[in-house]
Amino acid sequence: MEANGLGPQGFPELKNDTFLRAAWGEETDYTPVWCMRQAGRYLPEFRETRAAQDFFSTCRSPEACCELTLQVRGCTKEGKIYAFSLPPSNLSPVSYSHCVASLWMLPSFSPTSLLYPRCFLPLQALGMEVTMVPGKGPSFPEPLREEQDLERLRDPAVVASELGYVFQAITLTRQRLAGRVPLIGFAGAPWTLMTYMVEGGGSSTMAQAKRWLYQRPQASHQLLRILTDALVPYLVGQVAAGAQALQLFESHAGHLGPQLFNKFALPYIRDVAKRVKARLREAGLAPVPMIIFAKDGHFALEELSQAGYEVVGLDWTVAPKKARECVGKTVTLQGNLDPCALYASEEEIGQLVKQMLDDFGPQRYIANLGHGLYPDMDPEHVGAFVDAVHKHSRLLQQN
């Protein structure tokens, strides 16, 4: 089955649609599982690639981005390679049967934040200067300081046309995947993007960005609207290029309490979903399931489940049973094993996965970690995680 048969390149037929069916709320025989990762965090192959050329030329090379996306690999206890290795053509399609989705991604330098390097591409297209600070990730030498700084930003309508190299990378990756698993596109949500633009780099409190919300609410809304206007065509463009699902990361949700979140984050999260769906319809593109992942956004779970997304991602601080009680069966939940649980023995990983699956239940569920893979994870333990999800979810189905 091909969920998005309208890709411009005549993509190969999708051989495993378990992830997509779970995302749409359809019944599945087992629980699909995938992991978010930054290439730079995880694989020696990436470090070699990175060393070979500079960051921005890598971002702009569809061929390099495609290679990096396909640099996911691991080996399960049963000896099956559950994910991708480079070059993927060296492996037979059956080798990939255990991996149900691949996050399209760009290379990363930041060891601390999943979003840093990839989410800022639309900001660069909006006219924000970005430099790479080795060991620290991207930095904006001229962050937004005053309301009039918004005038520096370019028309959000140009963003999609500036990011053609992203779409080319997606198309190339989708072709190379050869239908083995679906490809997920993504973007940072407006509030999270705003924090980078105002802070200019990392921050433990996001106090400068939050100062805008309290002192310049109108300018903040103006900025969040600009970002929403930029994100909609960017996400639609990813689907047109071949992305079969979309994930929106609100990584900095936890810096907002319920009041600020409802005022400055949620309306734009809702708007992105609504407008992306409308634009896909207008363009005659098949709909794709959309995932919202608001890290540390425990307080907004109910609101997020009604925000127009098919899937709500959870970090590891939310108890699965409480999350299911809160959202009911209206959405698919995704998550949420503690990323550090992969430090445990393979036996304990199995026990933790079993508990998680029991608590989430067998349907309307996509297994994942509660955040991205950390750089020092043992790929064999990632394999143990994937194996345990498949094994226990099939047992759950039988009972």
The count of residues interacting with its own copies (CB under 8 A) is 38
Question: SS3 sequence, the chain?
Answer: CCCCCCCCCCCCCCCCCHHHHHHCCCCCCCCCECCCCCHHHHCHHHHHHHHHCCHHHHHCCHHHHHHHHHCCCCECCCCCECCCCCCHHHCCHHHHCCCCCEECCCCCCCCCCCCHHHHCHHHHHCCCCCEEECCCEEECCCCCCCHHHHHHCCCHHHHHHHCHHHHHHHHHHHHHHCCCCCEEEEEECHHHHHHHHHHCCCCCCCHHHHHHHHHCHHHHHHHHHHHHHHHHHHHHHHHHHCCCEEEEEECCHHHCCHHHHHHHHHHHHHHHHHHHHHHHHHCCCCCCCEEEEECCCHHHHHHHHCCCCCEEECCCCCCHHHHHHHHCCCCEEEEEECHHHHHCCHHHHHHHHHHHHHHHCCCCEEEEECCCCCCCCCHHHHHHHHHHHHHHHHHHHHC
Q: Does 283 bind its own copies (CB under 8 A)?
A: no
Q: Does 41 bind its own copies (CB under 8 A)?
A: no
Residue 214 as a binder of its own copies (CB under 8 A): the answer is yes
* Binder of its own copies out of 370, 385, 390, 393 (CB under 8 A): 370
The only residue of 8, 141, 164, 258 in contact with its own copies, by rule CB under 8 A: 258
316 binds its own copies (CB under 8 A): yes
Pick one of 161, 215, 306, 330: the residue that binds its own copies (CB under 8 A).
Answer: 215
Q: Per-residue string for binding with its own copies, 61-100, x by CB under 8 A?
A: ----------------------------------------
Q: In angstroms, what is the minimal distance from the CB of 144 to its own copies?
A: 16
Least distance in angstroms from the C-beta of 112 to its own copies = 5
9, 53, 306, 317: residue in contact with its own copies (rule CB under 8 A): 317
Residue 131 is a binding residue for its own copies (CB under 8 A): no
The stretch near its own copies (CB under 8 A) out of 84-92, 120-128, 284-292, 339-347 is: 339-347
Q: Does 326 bind its own copies (CB under 8 A)?
A: no
Stretches 4-12, 42-50, 64-72, 200-208: which one binds its own copies (CB under 8 A)?
200-208
- Contact residues toward its own copies (CB under 8 A) are 112-113, 204-205, 207, 210-211, 213-215, 254, 256-260, 296, 298-299, 316-319, 322, 336, 338-341, 343-345, 348, 352, 355, 370, 374, 376
